[in-house]
Amino acid sequence: MAHLAENRYGKARVRVMKVVRHATHHEMKEWNVRVLLQGDFETSFSKADNSKVLPTDTMKNTVYYIARESQATTPEGYAMDLVQYLLDNNAQVSSVSVEVEEKSWGRVSVAGKLHPTTYSLNGPEVQTACVTKQRGSEFEIISGVDGMVILKTTDSEFTGYIVDKLTTLKESTDRIFGTRATITWGYGKPPADFAAVRIAVIDSVLATFAAHHSLSVQHTIYDIGEAVLKAVPSVEWIKQTMPNLHCLLVNLEPFGQDNPNMIFVPTDEPHGYIEATVRR
């Protein structure tokens, strides 16, 4: 006999831009939101009974409603407000998960001063937050950044690995190290200022990546994780995913030229894929 196992449903890719118009400047956020509900929905699947189903279109409208009502200035704070509203107003829901991606808009600098109302997109990465709450429990909050493209042109090696009959990779003691990193982190308890923690984490990631003499991607991931945990006490764990953005040395000998680590072909297919979590 069939029975319904784990299930959830919701609304995804709800895009919302919020502009708060202060007297001296405007504050702008662009969010991409996904809402997922779990709860007493068994009969909606097995009996075609929609009496406990909150329409996903209503969820979309709730995203906009809470964006207007919420005083939060971070994706984490906004997601917490949205989660709590859905739990408070839907008795059939046992758990809500809200994921928010925030584009990295920043105010433009003109003549050395931030323009009050003009923005530029600062990078390809998006700031992320995932907030989940079971009814009667505390918030579970994961912050992060997705698509952080970073590269260093030296201080990276890869030697001493397994060599077998299928190995063609040459050892390198001076290579380009590039990656499109996805980084998430969690907390022992929610911090008072998510924005300040985010800045501290990213600053620590970039500073360690720049200063670190890498003997492998694994080596770099661990040292970055260790540095973040040391620099940011509220962070309990950090997970990093670092696919390689390879830069392959071009053979210029057919053209009568040498190539002293100068001319490369950037490529990301296929690429190495390394991920690890570092905890306290």
CATH number at residue 220: 3.10.270.10
pLDDT tens-digit map of 191-208: 999 999 999 999 999 999
Q: 133 and 155 share a domain?
A: no
Q: 251 and 170 share a domain?
A: yes
Residue 262 pLDDT class (50, 70, 90 cuts): very high
pLDDT > 90? residue 1? no
pTM of the complete model: 0.93
Q: Which residue range(s) make up the domain with 37?
A: 9-138
Q: 81 and 190 share a domain?
A: no
| Choice among 103, 152, 239, 246 that is catalytic | 246
In a domain? residue 204: yes
Which of 138, 164, 181 lies at the terminal end of a domain, its last residue? Answer: 138
Q: 180 and 236 share a domain?
A: yes
Q: Locate the DSSP E strands across the chain.
A: 9-21, 26-39, 93-110, 113-134, 140-152, 177-187, 235-243, 246-249, 264-267, 273-279
Q: 108 and 170 share a domain?
A: no
Residue 103 a catalytic site member: no
Rounded-to-10 torsion of CA 17, 21, 26, 28? -10
For the chain, the average pLDDT equals 97
Q: 78 and 167 share a domain?
A: no
Q: Supply the pLDDT for residue 216.
A: 97
Q: Supply the pLDDT for residue 172.
A: 94
Q: Supply the pLDDT for residue 123.
A: 85
Please compute the mean of the pLDDT values over residues 49-66 and round it to a whole number: 97
Residue 52 a catalytic site member: no
As for how many domains the chain has, the answer is: 2
In a domain? residue 236: yes
| Choice among 56, 58, 73, 277 that is catalytic | 56
Query: What 8-state DSSP symbol labels residue 224?
Result: H
Which of 113, 138, 163 lies at the terminal end of a domain, its last residue? Answer: 138
Q: Supply the pLDDT for residue 43.
A: 94
In a domain? residue 160: yes
In a domain? residue 182: yes
In a domain? residue 205: yes
Note whether 225 and 240 are within 8 A (CB). Answer: yes
Note whether 101 and 128 are within 8 A (CB). Answer: yes
Q: 84 and 182 share a domain?
A: no
pLDDT > 90? residue 266? yes
In a domain? residue 178: yes
Q: 153 and 234 share a domain?
A: yes
| Choice among 11, 133, 152, 239 that is catalytic | 11
What's the sign of the alpha-carbon dihedral 246, 251, 255, 261? Answer: positive
Residue 176 pLDDT class (50, 70, 90 cuts): very high
Q: 160 and 133 share a domain?
A: no
Angle CA 145–25–192, to nearest 5: 45
- The structure tokens listed for 28 are 């702008």
Please compute the mean of the pLDDT values over residues 100-126 and round it to a whole number: 96
Q: 63 and 129 share a domain?
A: yes
Which of 78, 112, 138 lies at the terminal end of a domain, its last residue? Answer: 138
In a domain? residue 42: yes
Q: 128 and 161 share a domain?
A: no
Please compute the mean of the pLDDT values over residues 127-148 and round it to a whole number: 97
The b-or-e profile of 147-171 (16+ CB within 10 A means b, else e) is ebebebeeebbbeeeeeeeeeeeee
Q: 133 and 153 share a domain?
A: no
In a domain? residue 1: no
Residue 212 a catalytic site member: no
**N-terminal to C-terminal alpha carbon distance within the chain:** 46
Residue 70 pLDDT class (50, 70, 90 cuts): very high
